[in-house]
Structure 1
């Protein structure tokens, strides 16, 4: 039997608007915070009085737990309970909260978590939730829970720097949410469409939006639209232009080098990153992490830009793997239409039930997933969209026979025989060419990637780069990367630029700067005294 408050020394605890009289002996033996406090020569240890400023409901749960050893954890209390237990140094409770949240969280819980997570909460903070929403927005809006989210949650989501291809996708999400319950939600329409970043909507997309459902009935449509020169909606940045092209090189087994491509065709070094397997691989992570998926979706790496660390991701094979988590947290709540399974080299031939398909790739397109590969009967197939749980939890084939990428709804594939295929899974069309006969390519060294709707082919052995003009349907040699290290991948990634540390500083000189450094009274006059030239001469 655990002691009552009057069995020994009594301890008075003031927590905000509540005061407790508890057993000092019990709390010192159960809660490390009190044990350390009363072992030290602190004022509270002599007065038997403590003042706290903790969430009242969470602290009440901990008081009851101290006396009974029992506490109920749910999504409403898990974040404040973790924060309270962490402050009081109760490791058993923080561990239980951690296990509960990461095992049970799904999209259904998103409105609750958005209400309880703050910028300083420990288990999951607001930046982590915002980052999760931004990365997976196109999948989230296809889910059933999204349709039931309250207005405050939807507005909060649409304000974020979402990973989208076009602001038209924001328009579609708004209409979809309102149409689910139009009588009660239609009065929110104007407030929500102000969250479209009109400053970054070009004429063609604006025209498309104007003719879309509900928008064509809006009388004040023109007055809501804004422009960069006169922004009235707070369009902070272009959400459809957030990606950067990066390259990853292997320095050693435990070290990689990362470079970012800039518009001038130069690769800016970001430094060396060390392997750290203790980095969490959970689907919700801090905003300073990036997940780089490559090799037709078969491989991935999580990068910590702040601490310059990385870990390899287990992509498939269990509920804890990358795609397994995406299914459990998001895709299990999405009504996925029945998959189309068809052979690519013979579009008119129906898929045979006696054949067997294997996971060879995993492409994401507009919130859905597509797979392409070779079947048991050695036929090239496509499944769009992936509608079975088993595909997210199964295994890839041991050795891939394709490399590929997806741009909008078109899949670009190079197979083991170096044939180049362009696949439209929606219209079930496929074209096949052989444009690489003049190159001495080995399939094992090839990787297809895309960036800003441009198709890029990399030969990781020679480090040669080719680009594909989608309009003219023509491959062009574009250059060669000179780096002595092994090229692992080139990939287009949405980068947390504010968290990336530059190795050097660069500044464009003003006229005043130039005059100072050249030591001339007028720019463009004699450069005999130019300090830079003097330095070079030395």
Structure 2
């Protein structure tokens, strides 16, 4: 006779806690069924030793025994991981839905504490990639000023997608200033996370003057000679992305350097099965275009893509807009504190944000407005680019000199030898792409 028949209760000892639960109930859980069925339990003691997060296991057992769903954001990831590990699929969906409905930027500290590299659903790699992509938006929220020191330290140490290390310095300064009496003690430790050797000389000089606002801080450590070759330059992750339409649904994606010269060219294929979840590893990138109204998700490792602007992906957009407030204008681009717009009658307009338009230029009449796209980087650049989608010819406006110059986009054929002819330029836009993602993409192609 089996232990299930001779003893009604199973004792589960998990770290410092002990649970007694009906064997009939526990037998319905695939993980425990396999253990009981293979006689791994000692029938006389009917005791099982486990080593899981205590709060998560207690929540799972209460749900199994009493039907009580005890989930909160402080244990949501741990509970989801445990449900997945135990094979309780019917409850796993409820847990995931709860997380999606309740996640907010304010909760990042407790999410960081739960996510690990081996988490089945949201691992630390995907969470870090999310933080790196959205760092510049994150530091503009009130949540940034409320994070504990440990969270600020964790975030500033990541390979953030930034234009300059000064953005990290400013984020630290804002956090310290919000409660300087208590936070000034963390200043020096946080400033050591700024990768000073990647700052331009003029920026470094300005920061040294600015450091005077930090009481009792000697900026001498900024003068230490550091070998930049051994420190990841996170300011070199912004590129121009050119996407060309091919026959059928294939696209050619070209990653261009700062001079609009091609670095990587690859054909990617449509795959609507790509996950639209907002937590993605760094080998997946979202590219925004058409003044931010459209976006395409690219899986670099699998050379595939999907559009994220269709009706069935509306939930994805709702989530992003819920976390970050963004503003997009038709046929317009943002650069530093200015908005650059092109009207239907080809009038090029420059306006300072929240101010009246102060610069207007009439462009050539031989340009077809419907074929044009206007693009630029968002910060730390002096160019606004106007491109014809069919000819790939264009004009570059220098915001410092107020002068236009001609440009022509050069592209490479795919490194695979694919010679598919490109038709129309879908977009030319600026985007952050992790260097690690590009390396993974190249490694995947060779494996």
TM-score scaled by length of structure 1? 0.71
Q: Which residue of 1 aligns with 2:169?
A: 171
Instruction: Classify 1:68/1:6 alpha carbon distance in 2 versus 1 (closer, same or farther; 3 Å).
Output: farther
Mind listing any 5+ residue stretches in structure 2 that lack a counterpart? Answer: 412-420
Counterpart selection for 2:292 from 291, 297, 304: 297
SS at match of 2:159: coil
Write the distance in 2 (CA, Å) between the matches of 1:158 and 1:235: 18
Q: Which residue of 2 aligns with 1:447?
A: 373
Q: Which residue of 1 aligns with 2:130?
A: 132
Q: Which residue of 2 aligns with 1:212?
A: 210
SS at match of 1:320: helix
Counterpart selection for 2:245 from 247, 250, 255: 250
Instruction: Classify 1:481/1:193 alpha carbon distance in 2 versus 1 (closer, same or farther; 3 Å).
Output: closer
Output one character per residue of 1:146-175: Cα deviation in whole Å (capped at 9) or x when no partner. Answer: 222111111111112222233222222222
Instruction: Classify 1:77/1:131 alpha carbon distance in 2 versus 1 (closer, same or farther; 3 Å).
Output: same
Q: Which residue of 1 aligns with 2:269?
A: 274
Counterpart contact for 1:298–1:315, Cα < 8 Å: no
Instruction: Classify 1:503/1:151 alpha carbon distance in 2 versus 1 (closer, same or farther; 3 Å).
Output: closer
Moved more, 95-104 or 481-490: 481-490
Structure with more of its chain in helix, by fraction: 2
Q: Which residue of 2 aligns with 1:502?
A: 442
Cα distance, 1:105 vs structure 2: 0.6
Q: Which residue of 1 aligns with 2:398?
A: 469
Q: Which residue of 1 aligns with 2:85?
A: 87
Write the distance in 2 (CA, Å) between the matches of 1:152 and 1:264: 39
Cα distance, 1:413 vs structure 2: 1.7
SS at match of 2:315: coil
Write the distance in 2 (CA, Å) between the matches of 1:293 and 1:410: 19
Write the distance in 2 (CA, Å) between the matches of 1:432 and 1:130: 42
Mind listing any 5+ residue stretches in structure 1 that lack a counterpart? Answer: 332-368, 373-401, 507-538
Counterpart contact for 1:464–1:481, Cα < 8 Å: no
Counterpart selection for 2:353 from 401, 417, 425: 425
Write the distance in 2 (CA, Å) between the matches of 1:236 and 1:447: 37
Q: Which residue of 2 aligns with 1:478?
A: 407
Instruction: Classify 1:16/1:409 alpha carbon distance in 2 versus 1 (closer, same or farther; 3 Å).
Output: same
Counterpart contact for 2:62–2:70, Cα < 8 Å: no
Counterpart contact for 1:210–1:216, Cα < 8 Å: no
> How does 1:11-410 map onto structure 2 within 5 Å?
11-16=10-15, 18=17, 20-29=19-28, 31-38=29-36, 42-44=38-40, 51-212=49-210, 214-215=212-213, 220-229=218-227, 236-252=231-247, 254-262=249-257, 266-314=261-309, 320-322=315-317, 324-331=318-325, 369-372=326-329, 402-410=330-338
Cα distance, 1:480 vs structure 2: 4.5
What is the aligned-residue RMSD (CA, Å)? 3.2
SS at match of 2:269: strand
Output one character per residue of 1:274-327: Cα deviation in whole Å (capped at 9) or x when no partner. Answer: 3333433343322222111111111111112122222212399998353x4344
Write the distance in 2 (CA, Å) between the matches of 1:117 and 1:7: 41
SS at match of 2:203: helix
Instruction: Classify 1:179/1:469 alpha carbon distance in 2 versus 1 (closer, same or farther; 3 Å).
Output: closer
Output one character per residue of 1:35-82: Cα deviation in whole Å (capped at 9) or x when no partner. Answer: 45556xx34279576554432322222222211111211111101111
SS at match of 1:211: helix
Counterpart contact for 1:167–1:240, Cα < 8 Å: yes
Output one character per residue of 1:345-393: Cα deviation in whole Å (capped at 9) or x when no partner. Answer: xxxxxxxxxxxxxxxxxxxxxxxx4454xxxxxxxxxxxxxxxxxxxxx
Q: Which residue of 1 aligns with 2:386?
A: 457
Output one character per residue of 1:102-155: Cα deviation in whole Å (capped at 9) or x when no partner. Answer: 111112211111111111112322122222222222222222222221111111
SS at match of 1:58: helix
Cα distance, 1:433 vs structure 2: 0.8
Instruction: Classify 1:235/1:432 alpha carbon distance in 2 versus 1 (closer, same or farther; 3 Å).
Output: farther
Bigger radius of gyration among the two? 1
SS at match of 1:123: coil
Q: How many residues align?
A: 427
SS at match of 2:40: helix
Q: Higher relative contact order at CA 8 Å, sep ≥6: structure 1 or structure 2?
A: 2
Q: Which residue of 1 aligns with 2:416?
A: none
Write the distance in 2 (CA, Å) between the matches of 1:27 and 1:403: 60
Counterpart contact for 1:76–1:112, Cα < 8 Å: yes
Write the distance in 2 (CA, Å) between the matches of 1:113 and 1:50: 30
Write the distance in 2 (CA, Å) between the matches of 1:241 and 1:268: 13
Write the distance in 2 (CA, Å) between the matches of 1:298 and 1:411: 16
TM-score scaled by length of structure 2? 0.84
Instruction: Classify 1:122/1:207 alpha carbon distance in 2 versus 1 (closer, same or farther; 3 Å).
Output: same
Q: Which residue of 2 aligns with 1:348?
A: none
